[in-house]
Amino acid sequence: MSNLSALKNKINKNKASIAVVGLGYVGLPLAVSFAKAGFNVVGLDTDSDRVRKVNKAVNYIADVTSQDLKNLLKKKRISATTNFRVLENSEVVFICVPTPLKRKYLPDISFVLQAVRKIRQFMGKNKLIILESTTYPGTTEEVILPILESKGLRCGKDFYLAFSPERIDPGNKHYPINKIPKVIGGINADSSILAQLLYKKIVKDTIIVSSPRAAETVKLIENTFRIVNIGLINEMAMMANKLNMNIWEIIDAAKTKPFGFMAFYPGPGVGGHCIPKDPLYLYWKAKKYGFDSRFIKLASQLNSSMPAYIVQRLKKLLKDKNKPIHKAKILVLGATYKKDVKDLRKSPSLDIIELLLREKIDVSYFDPYIPYLKLGKINLKSIKLNKNAIKQFDCLVLATDHKCINYKGIIQHANLIFDTRGVLKNIKNRKVILL
């Protein structure tokens, strides 16, 4: 049997051993999905705490449950380790490590490089390697392929390589990993076919595109679409405020059009490990080819300016109430970058708190998911949200719209609420001010 048929056979029979490198928001749900489908999965992470947690069925990601981990550990379908030697026996290796920015407009693929070099160290014939980390077009072909081939093995003959972007939205219960179609771009047709065969074990729909660079760009265009539209609606919110109009009412009416309009909502800025930085990967690559993406740059600048805009509006609100901000007590409601997740990465709430602290303004925060916060040298503790505590604050800035917060109860006791998320858009109350 040829290498290819043997690997196909193992995948078909759920017998291929799978390794997932990077057990974060992307890697852990992926590992759990394949383990649930009947594969033996080993998770690899440089963070020994995460490895320990997986092995003890202590979940740390919203999209996975401790019970899932417990069941899979019992069946010996999943395990985790920091020892890359396990790659010797893995037939499929997924790479799900972070791809941050070194600085604005400059990608940092060092985690991917570290992971790929480790894979090369334990590389043998007959393996399928799939990169899922979001990255700029060309990474798989121009960077990863040469590293994996540097020991003499050839892609398409000795091993297979593909890129398939992860498109999950952590915390989104409507679209778990198995309901999101998988886009696949292999280095060659066999790599695409093998990857497709594998993904069909956990998702219904798969789409093969012509190359890894096309698949890499699919993800970047999706997030560019989001950053540009969020930037646009943030600008519209600022404009509506100047014109004394309610942007939320306007969006809600506009979205009744059954075609040609898609609702995006304004907010305090964009956060997380995707939307703020993915488009900048594309910007950087295009710039290398002499192309300047004005949309990406403008949207990024606009969204980054939102925390400062929120603080500016807050100052004005308090001034209008004859309460200069320096004499006011402010509570920021919600610290995470979006609702119902524990993730603080690039959260605009943190920018708002930092801007207020920098001006020596008396600011506290509440977040049911984040008991403590460290901002530079400053340690903050989430307040206990109760009637007496709420009354103490001159203004609450609703920065993250966690579902578990009792907003109606808060309105009763608050002096003033500046709602940057539109949670209270349908409530007529003079204490509620909308972005």
Ligand X SMILES: NC(=O)c1ccc[n+]([C@@H]2O[C@H](COP(=O)([O-])OP(=O)(O)OC[C@H]3O[C@@H](n4cnc5c(N)ncnc54)[C@H](O)[C@@H]3O)[C@@H](O)[C@H]2O)c1
Active site residues: 274
Least distance to ligand X, CB of residue 115, Å = 4
Angle at 117 between CA 111 and CA 123, to 5 degrees: 135
- CA-based nearest residue to 325, from 336, 340, 310: 310
| Residue 99 or 336 with smaller CB distance to ligand X | 99
From residue 95 to residue 134, what is the string marking binding to ligand X with x (rule CB under 6 A)? Answer: -xxxx-----------x--xx-----------------xx
Bridge partners, 186 (sequence order): 162
CB of 223 to ligand X, least distance (A): 9
User: Minimum Å distance from CB 156 to ligand X?
Assistant: 25
Instruction: Show the tokens assigned to 110.
Output: 């060092």
Q: How far is the CB of 279 from ligand X (least distance, A)?
A: 12
- Cα radius of gyration rounded to whole Å, the chain: 24
- Strand 182-186 with 362-366, pairing: unpaired
Q: Contact between 402 and ligand X (CB under 6 A)?
A: no
Question: Binding to ligand X (CB under 6 A): which residues in 33-72?
Answer: 44-47, 50
Asked if residue 94 binds ligand X (CB under 6 A), the reply is no
In single-letter form, the type of residue at position 29 comes to: P
Q: Give least dist CB 196 to ligand X, A.
A: 19
Query: How far is the C-alpha of 83 from the C-alpha of 55, rounded, in Å?
Result: 14
Distances in Å between the Cα of 249 and the Cα atoms of 255, 256, 332, 400, 426 are: 10, 11, 24, 20, 9
Q: Quote the CA–CA distance of 68 and 299 in Å, as a whole number.
A: 39
Given the rule CB under 6 A, which of 90-98, 194-202, 236-244, 254-262 is the region that contacts ligand X? 90-98
Counting contacts by CB under 6 A, is residue 150 touching ligand X? no
Measured from the CB atom, is 169 or 354 closer to ligand X?
169
- Contact letters (x/-) for ligand X, 267-306, by CB under 6 A? -----xxx--------------------------------
Residue from the set 7, 16, 19, 23 that interacts with ligand X by CB under 6 A: 23
Question: Residue 22, interface with ligand X (CB under 6 A)?
Answer: yes
Report which of 95, 153, 152 is spatially closest to residue 119, judged by C-alpha positions.
Answer: 95
Instruction: Map the footprint of ligand X across residues 324-353, applying CB under 6 A.
Output: none
Tell me which of 10, 18, 25, 36 binds ligand X, using CB under 6 A: 25
C-alpha dist (Å) from residue 268 to 108, 263, 271? 26, 17, 9
Residue with tokens 């059009």: 257
Amino acid, res. 28: L
Chain residues binding ligand X by CB under 6 A are 21-27, 44-47, 50, 96-99, 111, 114-115, 133-134, 166, 168, 170, 272-274
